[in-house]
Amino acid sequence: MSAEETPTTAALTLRVGEFEGPLDLLLHLCRTSEIDLAALPVRAITDQYVAHLEAMEFRDLEMAGAYLVMAATLIYLKSKLLVPPDETDEQLDPDAEALRQDLEQRLREYARVKAIGVWLGEREAEQALLWGRPVSELPAADEIPLEDLSVHLLERALKRLIEEQNRVRPREIAPEPPSILERMTEILSVLRDTWSLLFSSLTGGERRRSEIVVTLLAVLELVKMGRIRAQQTELFGEIVIERQPGETITNATAH
Amino acid sequence: MPQPIDVVEALLFASDAPLEADRIREVLDLADAQEARGLVDTLRERYEAADRALMIVEVGGGFRMVTRPEIAPWLLRLAKTRTRARLSRPALETLAIVAYREPVSRPEVDALRGVNSDAVLDNLLERRLIRIAGRKEAPGRPFLYETTREFLVAFGLRDLGDLPKVDGQLTLPDGVTAEAAVVSPDGEAQAQQDPGAGGTDLTPGS
Tell me: do A117 and A9 sit in the same domain. Answer: yes
CB contact under 8 A, B194 and A147: yes
Q: Which CATH code of 1.10.1070.11, 3.40.309.10, 3.30.50.10, 1.10.10.10 fits the domain covering B89-193?
A: 1.10.10.10
State which of A111, A127, A143 marks the end of a domain. Answer: A127
Among the partner-chain residues A110, A136, A152, the one whose CB lies closest to the CB of B14 is A136
Residue A172 domain-assigned (yes or no)? no
Q: Tell me chain B's radius of gyration from C-alpha atoms.
A: 19
Report the sign of the C-alpha dihedral through residues A15, A18, A24, A30, in that order.
negative
CB contact under 8 A, A132 and B95: no
Residue A88 distance to chain B (closest CA, Å): 30
Position B147 scores a pLDDT of: 93
CB contact under 8 A, A131 and B93: no
pLDDT tens sequence across B173-189: 333 333 333 333 333 33
Total number of domains constituting chain A: 2
Residue A109 domain-assigned (yes or no)? yes
Local confidence band at A207 (pLDDT 50, 70, 90 cut-offs):
low
State which of A91, A112, A127 marks the end of a domain. Answer: A127
Q: Judge whether B112 is closer than 8 Å to chain A, CB to CB.
A: yes
CB burial readout B8-25, b (16+ within 10 A) else e: bbebbeebebbbbbbbbb
| CATH 1.10.10.10 residue ranges for chain B | 4-77, 89-193
State which of A127, A158, A192 marks the end of a domain. Answer: A127
Residue A156 domain-assigned (yes or no)? no
CATH topology of domain B4-77: Arc Repressor Mutant, subunit A (1.10.10)
Tell me: do A10 and A118 sit in the same domain. Answer: yes
Q: Which residue segment(s) compose the domain that A12 sits in?
A: 2-127
Residues B21 and B190: beta-carbon distance below 8 Å:
yes
Tell me: do A122 and A184 sit in the same domain. Answer: no
Lowest-pLDDT range, A33-47, A208-222, B102-116? A33-47
Tell me: do A185 and A110 sit in the same domain. Answer: no
CATH code of residue A229: 1.10.10.580
pLDDT tens sequence across A151-185: 777 888 888 889 888 887 777 777 777 788 888 88
- Reported pTM: 0.61
Residues B78 and B110: beta-carbon distance below 8 Å:
no
